[in-house]
Every structure is written in C-alpha cells, then in structure tokens.
Amino acid sequence: MKKKILSLAVAGVVAVTVTATVMGQGRPSPDEQALAFRQGLMTVIVNVATPMILMQRGRMPYDGKVVARNARELAGLAAIIPQAFEHDTSNASGLKTTALPMVWQDHDKFLANAHKLETQAQALEKATRGGSEDAVKTAIMNTAAVCGDCHMDFRQKPPGGGGAR
C-alpha cells in the first residue's frame, strides 16, 4: 500500500513537470519524460530525507514518529529508482540533468547503490522501532552516507564544488 501511495506521489510530481513541458513546447520526448520521472522521484526523496538529516544534525527537533514514517517512505522510494533509470538518456541532447553518463556505463553498480539505499532505509525504519535516539541518528547518518556515496560516483558536483545535497 505504501509503495502504491509513494508511486502516486511521484506520478503527481512527474505529471506537473510533463504538463508544464507540454504547455511550454509541445509533447515531451521519451527522453524528457524519463528525465521528468527521475527528477520528480529525486525531488520527493530529498523532501523525505531532509527532515531526518536535519534532526540527525541537531538542526531540527527530533521526532521519532516523523523519522519512522520518512524511513518507510524512503525505502519505498528507493525501490522505484531502478525503474526511474531504465531509460538511458546519456546520449540525449538538450536535457538539463546532473546524472553522469556513469549511471548507464556502470548501471549494475548504480542499481546496487539504489538497492543499498532501500536496505539502509529499511534498517533505519527498524531502528525507530526500539532503538535509542542515538541509534536512530546513527542509522540516519548511515543512510545519508549511502546517498552521498552514490552522488560521488553518479552525479555531477553542484557549482561551487559542494558534495551531495
């Protein structure tokens, strides 16, 4: 059920993006549709992960219920990553993406990272069911590290040289 709800959330983000593209310049190409799906998914992942990271860093009050919910959602979203990166857009022109060609050149490693994120998010959710706040914060840090590792290999660095979001 959760996976279906998460899929619907991602679909909503993609629908808005595709609608904006259609209104602005006509029907989006398959490459544009694939990019919109990926970017919509990653936007939702960032929105789910950010509160947990802020709590882990002490920049937001800790709320175990929010962490448990967001960890479950993150695991479901991570499970969608392989589908979002099925369509190879490495040779497409005119797309604004931070995905590096390595995503498709070493696709097995990329997919392994997506699975690792799903597994780590599940471990985080499990930690929320009885672990101390410190144990949960360690699990959040470990989950964020998986994101950062993947970004190091498969995502362009933002202007200014910063790391993962």
State the pLDDT at residue 164. 44
CATH number for the domain spanning 106: value is 1.20.120.10
Does residue 120 form part of some domain? yes
In a domain, 66, yes or no: yes
Query: Contact, 3 vs 74, CB < 8 A?
Result: no
**Residue 165 located in a structural domain:** no
Domain holding 50, by residue range, is 2-85+98-154
pLDDT for 125 equals 93
Tell me if the pTM is above 0.75: yes
Instruction: Give yes or no for residue 8 having a pLDDT over 70.
Output: no
In a domain, residue 161? The reply is no
In this structure, is residue 78 part of a structural domain?
Answer: yes
* pLDDT at residue 40 tops 60: yes
Q: What is the number of domains present in the chain?
A: 1
- Is 44 part of any domain? yes
**91 occurs within a structural domain:** no
Q: Is the pLDDT of residue 57 over 70?
A: yes
